[in-house]
Chains A and B, each alone.
Chain A
């Protein structure tokens, strides 16, 4: 389809919305679906059909963030948000549409949880219907791609992404523009774009939500990347544990192909870009880029030493760009709203916004998007509402098994790549697990070490055996059978595993242990057998 024809489709959809502004949106992301939001939607639709006097229409939309109180239902144009809507609440809800709002189900959208957010990646999730391309088009989708294809040169796109200051959202924080430029400059008969959707950190669900709610936003970002670096094919490597995300991605690719937004001659131009899905079989290590490439190639998912980096030699030996879901989801906004706008958000070195998944001992479990540089205190206490049941927050774990624990007295820290690293944690992909005073930090360290131990691919010795030994030693500490000498051994082994492991999994595996040891050393020492003996220090 030509850009003009696509604009017609978008206009028709917008007109339909203008004709029928009374809309009810039911969250159909995995979190709310698991609380029967699908049934809520079906009940709403049948109930509304029986009531022609009520002009509302119900549709499934994307995630509205407050997963703790799902299923969430929005009512437009009244601007109402209902929480904890059960299937049998539907009759009352429908009745309220003709009378006055249901007070007991109202969700306060003026709460900090909602108003402190700045949405770029999660923008318009509450109106975009994930399974309809027209809905994404009406929300301004694919205008960035059309703009790039018809009006911009690859160099201009690269420049825009570079100036935006966007950094990789998968955890490493490598400057995205620089990565794109390296692949664009690399010599290769073919080039590839890979979207890393192998989100495996415990407690993280940002990428899943983005794929479930706006798969087209990711496809659009990938196609723009393909145009910028000179690739004609892309792969989305998504873990098989995300069946809904996979189903919606598949549907999105089919729709985009039908509309000529993916495939041969995009928008009638000379640019062609195909996208295929590859499913991960449940190995955490396949989130590591070289292991991911090996897995796509059909080999065992094991990392290989870098350099050469995938930008030089990646998929099947060709230059390959690998970015995370959230990174690609930022691209269309950078193109349509300019790099300067994007760079105006965040800190000096960390631009834009970041999506975080709040989990663990926190009131408002869910998905938030905040500008970089916000303090942890604002996220945990103001937006997250602190720990439930009168408990006090003790620490927050960021970055999953590669990250660390940040104690509550450090919560004034600004959330950006450098500050988190300075404290021994990492930004990571955006999982935040909150712990209260009932959590033992030794247990936390042991949990993550067990995770790394069982997810190690077994290729290099330090990660394969080192994590096993560390896990064993942590068990000893927990069972009050370890001595000071064992604690010293833990520390030296951590250093060895971190320094000598082949890939990021092993190199960062000691982080949860080291950070808890740094901030909560007394919890370890209390468990040592020779704790009460004369302390050497």
Chain B
């Protein structure tokens, strides 16, 4: 956030704690500033929030709907609950739905041990998948000389789409198709290696929460990513370097 902002200062309550904030801040930003943990997956600092994964949903006293912390702005006097038995259950179901949707086999994944989906499952206590696995048939695109896109491990968080568009400015990635058939495409649904707009900067790989976008040549559990990259770049841009 720009320190020179003139936004009004407000007070609100998160999980019984009274906290001060500015009214141009989202609930998630305020919670993080105050070391209150809210699980997220599609959110990444430095990128436009999407509100797509629904993990950061919080309860706001006085409204019947639950709202995503990443896109909801705080208002004066708001009383927020970041956790409740119902919210916890919903979050666990989101994780279960994701595991059942793709083909997530941790034991053979290059991101094993460095995967946000895996971390979330551990954090939220998802030890079993009770829903039937969809076992989709999905391709792997290894046409790029340095990177690989494995659709089997993609959770459609669209971080790659956003970092490529908003930070790199190339907009190589986008999404095509609907529902569970939606998938990430390069340019006009070409093999990644043939996508003319791709600058091979690798930002998409660094922000991908799972093993869907990875560097070539990595063995199981060897892929480590730099998720802070967009935050660092956008901060530098804000400070006019």
Interface residues of A (CB under 8 A from B): 283, 285, 300, 304-305, 307, 453-462, 464-469, 472, 489, 492-493, 496, 499-502
Contacts and interface: CB of A to CB of B under 8 A. Distances in A.
B182 A305 contact: no
A469 B100 contact: yes
A466 B72 CA distance: 23
B130 A466 contact: no
A458 B178 CA distance: 5
B98 A465 contact: yes
A467 B179 contact: yes
**Chain A binding site: helix, strand, loop or mixed by DSSP?**
helix
Contacts of A305: 51, 67-68, 71-72
Contact of A458 (B67, B132, B134, B179): B179
B121 interface: no
A462 B54 CA distance: 8
Contacts of A457: 178-179, 182
11 contacts: A458-B156, A460-B53, A461-B53, A462-B97, A464-B156, A465-B98, A465-B100, A465-B134, A467-B179, A472-B134, A499-B66
Contacts, number: 98
Given A458-B182, A472-B132, A500 B100 contact: no
Nearest to B68: A305
A183 to B, nearest CB: 20
B140 interface: no
A478 to B, nearest CB: 15
A142 B89 CA distance: 55
Nearest to B89: A496
A283 B176 CA distance: 13
Contacts of B134: 465, 468, 472
Contacts of A300: 174-175
A465 to B, nearest CB: 4
B215 interface: no
A454 B182 CA distance: 10
Contact of B54 (A304, A489, A493, A501): A501
A461 B178 contact: no
Interface string B79-104: 00000001001100110011011000
A455 B54 contact: no
A283 B179 CA distance: 11
B52 interface: yes
B238 interface: no
Contacts of A502: 51-52, 54
Given A307-B73, A458-B177, 17 more contacts: A283-B178, A305-B72, A307-B72, A454-B179, A455-B179, A458-B181, A462-B94, A462-B97, A464-B182, A465-B180, A468-B134, A468-B180, A469-B97, A489-B130, A489-B131, A496-B89, A500-B57
A332 B130 CA distance: 55
Interface of B: 50-54, 57, 65-68, 71-73, 86, 89-90, 93-94, 97-98, 100-101, 130-132, 134, 155-156, 158, 174-175, 177-182
Nearest to A472: B132
A42 B174 CA distance: 50
Contact of A465 (B86, B97, B178): B97
B179 A304 contact: no
A458 B134 CA distance: 15
B156 A496 contact: no
Contacts of A467: 179
Contacts of B131: 469, 489
A496 B86 CA distance: 9
Given A461-B52, A461-B98, A465-B101, A455 B68 contact: no
B100 A456 contact: no
Contact of B178 (A304, A456, A460, A492): A456
B51 A461 contact: no
A453 B98 CA distance: 15
Contacts of A464: 101, 156, 179-180, 182
B25 to A, nearest CB: 15
Given A456-B179, A458-B178, A500 B132 contact: no
B94 A461 contact: yes
A466 B179 contact: no
A57 B195 CA distance: 63
Contacts of A460: 51-54
- Among the interface residues A456, A462, A500, which one has the most CB atoms of the partner chain B within 10 A? A500
A307 B175 CA distance: 24
- Among the interface residues A453, A454, A466, A496, which one has the most CB atoms of the partner chain B within 10 A? A496
Given A305-B71, A459-B50, A462-B54, A469 B132 contact: yes
Contacts of B132: 469, 472
A159 B141 CA distance: 59
- Kindly list the 4 A-B residue pairs having the minimum CB-CB distance in the complex, ordered from nearest: A458-B182, A465-B97, A305-B51, A456-B179
A11 to B, nearest CB: 53
A462 B180 CA distance: 11
Contacts of B158: 459
Nearest to A302: B175
Given A305-B68, A469-B132, A458 B175 contact: yes
